[in-house]
Amino acid sequence: MKTHLDCLPCLLNQALRAARTATDDENIHRQVVDAVAGMIPGLPLDLKPPELAQQAYRIIHRIVGDSDPYRREKEESNRAALAVYPRLKQLVEQSADGIYTACKLAIIGNSIDFGPSAFDNSNLEGIIDTAMKQPLAINSYDRFLDRLHKCNSLLYLGDNAGEIVLDRLLIEEICNGNRGMEVHFVVRGRSVINDATLEDALMVGMDGVARVISSGSDAPATILSQCSEEVNNLYRSADVIIVKGQGNYESLEGEGGNTFFLLRSKCQLIADLLGVKVGDFILKENPEASFGSSQP
């Protein structure tokens, strides 16, 4: 997905929010906004939105003198999600279709994002209770379930801290029906916004259900050209790829692969491109997927 003009004011808003998270010094806030605004004219719009964000956050980190300004918020998100995990696990186990319920919860978890807007960790349980009643605006679940039944290798491209607790819940439920499945979970190579890193994955116990690997990049998404050779090989070979979050959708839409996109639409641009409303829940099969020899 290429960058649209609508992405540029959003980038400036994110820069200001990150600067205010890092420091109360208004002079630094102004430096950050000026520097990111000054970067924009030289950037081609054929870059993916996460590639713009990557360059902006490198500038932000340099000016504020902190490579992880959302560190505290990420830890709070992980703790908040872990606190509700037992109840959500019970909800999945008692539901008529555990994988579908776990999918809904994983998508709801995509609400935990400090990039496009602020998020209140203290209200996570209320958000989950309300959102569980909301249907999927794009629903490829039947295809997803069919592919999982034929899946030996699953690649799961993670997104945000906190959210990954609900990703873990989905992986656990998937593996309940396929104990021999090989699962790899990809996190960011370095801290950016509130995206999950190896430290976050270990904090929530993801290493107990999947082999956790780094993308090798500090982009707030999975940009294959920047990812490690291992991640690229897995992307080409995995039977099923779960792509979590709007940033990953922006970077991998149109890239091919045996992918299913699980996300919440968080801005009008993405909503319009998908033909949904802002806030809708999406489980979308990649129309270009081959799914190897299992394709009927």
162 in the same domain as 25:
no
The reported pLDDT for the residue numbered 114 is: 55
Q: pTM for this structure?
A: 0.93
What CATH number is given to the structural domain containing 78? 3.40.50.10880
For 123-178, the pLDDT digits (tens) are 677 777 777 888 999 999 999 999 999 999 999 999 999 999 999 999 999 999 77
Q: What is the pLDDT of residue 51?
A: 95
In this structure, the answer to whether residues 50 and 124 fall within a common structural domain is: no
pLDDT value at residue 177: 74
Residues 228, 186 within the same domain? yes
Residue 1 included in any domain: no
Shared domain check, 53 and 184: no
Q: Which residues of 110-147 are buried (b: 16+ CB within 10 A; e: fewer)?
A: bbbbbbbeebebeebeebbeebeeeebbbbbbeebeeb
Residue 103's φ and ψ, nearest 5 degrees, are -60, -45
Q: Are residues 148 and 46 in the same domain?
A: no
Same domain flag for 152 and 273: yes
Residues 112 and 53 both lie in one domain: no
Mean pLDDT by 10 residues, the chain (296 residues): 92 94 97 96 90 96 96 93 93 94 93 59 69 90 95 97 96 89 97 96 97 97 97 96 96 92 94 95 86 44
Residue 124 domain-assigned (yes or no): yes
User: Same domain, yes or no, for 48 and 123?
Assistant: no
| Under 8 Å between Cβ of 194 and 114 | yes
In this structure, the answer to whether residues 23 and 83 fall within a common structural domain is: no
Question: What is the C-alpha to C-alpha distance for residues 196 and 273, in angstroms, rounded to an integer?
Answer: 26
Q: What is the CATH number of the domain that holds 47?
A: 1.10.8
| Cα–Cα dist 239/192, whole Å | 29
Alpha helices in 118-214, H assignment, sequence order: 124-131, 141-149, 163-176, 198-203
For residues 130 and 23, membership in a common domain is answered with no
Tokens of 202: 């270990």
Q: What angle do CA 66, 161, 48 make, to 5 degrees?
A: 75
| CA dist., res. 37 & res. 29, Å (int) | 12
pLDDT of residue 294: 40
Mind listing the pLDDT tens digit for each residue in 23-33? Answer: 999 999 999 99
The per-residue pLDDT for 287 is 80
